[in-house]
Chain A
Amino acid sequence: MTMQKTIEVDKQQVEKMVDDWKKRVSDLYSTIELWLKDSDYYIKRGSKLKMYEELMSQFNVHATDVDTADIYKDNKIVLTIMPIGLWVIGANGIVDILSNKGSCKLVDTSEQFETPQWKLFNGNKKNGVEFNKQSFFQLLNK
């Protein structure tokens, strides 16, 4: 896992990070939507999660909402995707993926404002695996 660079932070920077996080999450859902095309599954953006992390409070940045998403098969939820936090020790954001069989984590190991590098941690792989169409379908069919 990469270490984050130390950068000077101000209110504008925090707002930019929050916007970037929301975009990365939204792009993630769009990517999954593409992967699910022509399959028995579909993704639907679900309820919103309130986002108000410590740095936002520190710099007086307003709370905001971030989308969750659900993946359905036969009109039943099979996976739920919940963005848990942007500021994480040793990573650039973390997302929970929940199913009837348990949970796993999707961790963005990229540096700030760089192209996301999502890694999937599902408990049995200590260092995580690249999150791509193959690992995603393995998770769906687990």
Chain B
Amino acid sequence: MNIFDELGKIYSEIDNICASIQVQARSKRQRKKESADFRKRQFNNQAYFLFMFTRLEDRVRDISDTLIDNKVATLTDWKTKRTWEIIHKQKSNDSLHFMNRVALLTPKGQIDYNLIKQYYTQRNNIGHGGSFTIAISIPTVIADMKRFYKDLKG
């Protein structure tokens, strides 16, 4: 089982428990309890989304690092190599932006790039104390993350 399936399984277990309690509270017209469990499910969504996104961030970092190192080590023509040397410097001083790393692995402006950018925006909202600004479906996130993990190549 890969990490996304594993996280998805734990996420579902927690979400199912909270959903069940939420329905029971709704049946008993316990509005406060229903709202509290709805909120718990939202936090669960945020926590697992963030957890999954960090796995993708690691993957993007690893593949882009390898790509950059290989280019700098193997290119001999200065005209081509100079760009990679600048990128390598940014990598070394940790100033290479995440979305620029993504752009090294999938064409900028195309479907996968745009999708990762949308998720990255949500990741930043959650990471800086906010909440999702659009609805998130964790099963969809899992499917997308698995695909990115497999398809992104240096």
Contact = CB atoms under 8 A, between A and B. Distances in A.
Main secondary structure of the interface of A (DSSP, over half): strand
Interface in A85-142: 85-91, 94, 96, 98-103, 105, 107, 121, 123, 126-128
Interface stretch (B12-20, B61-69, B100-108): B12-20
Contacts of A102: 12, 15-17, 19-20
Contacts of B115: 3, 89-90
B92 to A, nearest CB: 33
A80 B23 contact: yes
Interface string A62-91: 000000001000001101100011111111
Contact of A88 (B16, B27, B137, B143): B137
Interface string B40-64: 0100000000000000000000000
B23 A99 contact: yes
A38 interface: no
B135 A98 contact: no
Contacts, number: 85
A87 B27 contact: no
A53 B131 CA distance: 12
A126 B134 contact: no
A1 interface: yes
A85 B143 contact: no
Contact of B12 (A70, A80, A107, A123): A123
B139 interface: yes
Task: Classify chain B: how many residues form its interface, as a range.
Answer: 20 to 34
A85 B23 contact: no
26 contacts: A3-B111, A53-B133, A77-B27, A80-B22, A80-B26, A84-B135, A85-B135, A87-B135, A88-B135, A88-B136, A90-B115, A90-B140, A91-B140, A96-B19, A98-B23, A100-B23, A100-B24, A101-B16, A102-B16, A102-B19, A102-B20, A105-B137, A105-B139, A107-B137, A121-B140, A128-B139
Interface of B: 12, 15-20, 22-24, 26-27, 41, 111, 115, 118-119, 122, 133-137, 139-144
Interface of A: 1, 3, 46, 53-54, 70, 76-77, 79-80, 84-91, 94, 96, 98-103, 105, 107, 121, 123, 126-128
